[in-house]
A and B are shown apart, each in its own frame.
Chain A
């Protein structure tokens, strides 16, 4: 007894893999290629959680991004793409959180509350954010010059990066 198992927590692993599965599912209705990519990313994510490796988790995050980009290009509805994006960001975030909690507290400690709260806040922020983005896109759809949109994104990134912590 009382050896600390410094591995990703079970709760976090379960939540992360569920989110990854949901991301794969929501892409599957729109674009097969993207869904296949998301499936590979899910497998890599699971491997990263089993091995407890941050690098593998980040690789899984990259693969998710790639599948989302493919999904965006092959043109499913923006709704399912946003849904998949929320789910995949959540999957990576919860996986990484499970890794760090496991590293700090070990598998035996009770961490359910911490991880559920973390999942809930991330989910709320992403859902509200996606709603806002979708709303803006719906209101201002059609007719904008592409350069304006690009400059908008660039400006937003620069502004947000400048915010002091």
Chain B
């Protein structure tokens, strides 16, 4: 197990290095000169010159990269052009919001998807299975930004139970914070729930056909014991793969949900960063996203090891 983790950790730096290269060059591919966006339609040559100099855009590109990468390794991601705050501060403020959304969303997905998936698999083609299938199709097909707006309309405007403006800092009022998170979490988790539910069902169906399950039944174990001890444990491996991918996808989903619900998270930072050509922010978010995906994969790998002794022994 230790060897596995060490192996994975050693592979990290080169991957991160490639990520920094891509991150930096992607920004160069942005169609607009950042200074154009900063200036808007009001062009003031003196200001243009000052801004270009301050951003280091007057230097050759390789020099810009080297300056940037050396700053990155000392933990300085520069200042946002738009908000005038250090990008590290921006990230530090926003990561908790995105994490809260992601963790709650994924937890809700798993809590719903695994039991329903198991029941679906144990009673294929039953009414409950058909209902779950219908939900899964709807969940995958429904764009989550639209679902978000519908939820707001129903729960905030018609029923008046929940706020339309979701965000209240946790430190300010934990209860209001959680209350505000309910709708974003539901909108966010629906697609994930649908995917994980289908995955659980098919993995379970696969396992339930195996000889050892029949053997377990023959031994006289209760249905429940067969399902949890023998079947689910074996069905977990593909589920972890998918869940790992979903964790990596969290940021992608948060981009939309955070924009709809006005949550000041990393996703929103990415969107406004791109729209306003705030390239230090775009670079910072991309770096963070890269690290996030790498970390999610690492965690998935380690979890494999925990549930599957074959992986552990290597």
A binds B: no
- Which residues of B are at the interface with A, using a C-beta cutoff of 8 A? none
